[in-house]
Amino acid sequence: MSTHAPPDGEASGFPRRLAPVRLFLDFDGTLVEPNVAIVLVERFAEDGARVAHEVDEQLHRGELTLRQAWERQAALLPWDSIPAMTDYAVENVPLRAGARELIELLQVHRVPTVVVSGGLDFYIRAILDREGFDLPFLSDSAHPGGDGRMRVEHPHGHVDCRQCGICKAQVVRGPFPTAERTIFVGDGSTDRFAAEVADIVFARRRLLTYCQREGIPCFPFEEFHPVTTRLRSWLEGTEPYPQDRRLGVGSSPCPISKDLHDSAS
């Protein structure tokens, strides 16, 4: 006879309660290895490699906003190549090591999980379908432009701020106060404002550098195995959740982050 106790609620026939956390997961460079958007620009846009590098440099010199940088690159992509770009992404974009184990852990513990991405809906949906990941996602969306090129819309942007295509800070904070801890997992420039307002941050690459520079508490990672191990210890109660909560950054250009900081001061 098994001695394994059923999860909370299962023995009595009631649904198991949700974990006291919500997790937001970046896509490009985090859930999957490469930045898919940049890969597609380099492969399918005329002179794409040069343009992608040039725009990236302008972005990190502060000469372009995140939204401007992505719109400039996406505008180079031919709309009629969407099927070819989708097939290429499905065939060539790998998950980050340990991703499947992480998603399985989140599902077992019923952690509400949302993929939040500054990338485009068509390839995110296709790759999630390829893996059988039944995860909601929020992203920018691709539409045909009048010149045969791609036009990008921002259904999850901030109503006033134009820094980012998708306002990840707004998504992470949510419309109402919550007792649940918010966990953000990301890697890059589009993630820094989400990291400023999340309770718990897992960071790699440029996001890790940013968090260390700005004094934002975070857990570094490269592959997902240490993320899964740490989350399991919290979810199963073998270690306590971190107590520190990040309450925005007063000098941030993000209105969500700045307002949160000011209200907590």
Query: Between vectors from CA 87 to CA 101 and to CA 95, what angle results, nearest 5°?
Result: 20
- Residues facing 98 on adjacent strands: none
Q: Which residues, in sequence order, are CB contacts of 182 under 8 Å at separation 6+?
A: 21, 22, 23, 24, 172, 173, 174, 197, 198, 199, 200
Residue spans of the chain under pLDDT 50 = 1-15
Taking the C-alpha atoms of residue 99 and residue 6, their distance in angstroms, rounded to an integer, is 25
What 8-state DSSP symbol labels residue 31? I
- Predicted confidence at residue 17, as pLDDT, reads 54
The pLDDT of residue 13: 40
- For residue 55, being part of any structural domain is answered with no
pLDDT at 72: 85
Q: What is each CA distance from 233 to 41, 123, 241, in whole angstroms?
A: 40, 33, 9
pLDDT the model gives residue 157: 94
Q: Is there a contact between 205 and 191 (Cβ–Cβ < 8 Å)? A: no
Q: What is the pLDDT of residue 2?
A: 27
**Can you give the pLDDT at residue 178?**
67
Q: Is 151 helix (H, G, I), strand (E, B) or coil?
A: strand
Q: Determine how β-strand 200-203 pairs with β-strand 21-26.
A: unpaired
pLDDT score, position 132: 97
In a domain, 145, yes or no: yes
Q: Contact at 8 Å (CB) between 141 and 44?
A: no
**Three-state DSSP class for residue 21:** strand
DSSP state of 128: H
Computed on alpha carbons and rounded to an integer, the radius of gyration of the chain in Å comes to 19
Q: Residue 175: give its domain's CATH number.
A: 3.40.50.1000
Q: What is the pLDDT of residue 120?
A: 95
> Would residue 200 count as lying in a domain?
yes
Tell me whether residue 88 is in a domain: no
Residue 138 zone, left/alpha/beta (φ > 0; ψ -120 to 50; rest): beta
The answer to whether position 257 is within a domain reads: yes
State how many domains the chain has. 1
Q: Looking at residue 12, what is its pLDDT?
A: 35
Residue 42 in any domain: the answer is: no
What is the rounded distance in angstroms from the CA atom of residue 166 to the CA atom of residue 136?
A: 15
Say how far apart CA 260 and CA 183 lie, in whole Å.
Answer: 17
Domain annotation covers residue 161? yes
Domain span holding position 146:
21-34+95-264
Does 160 map to a domain? yes
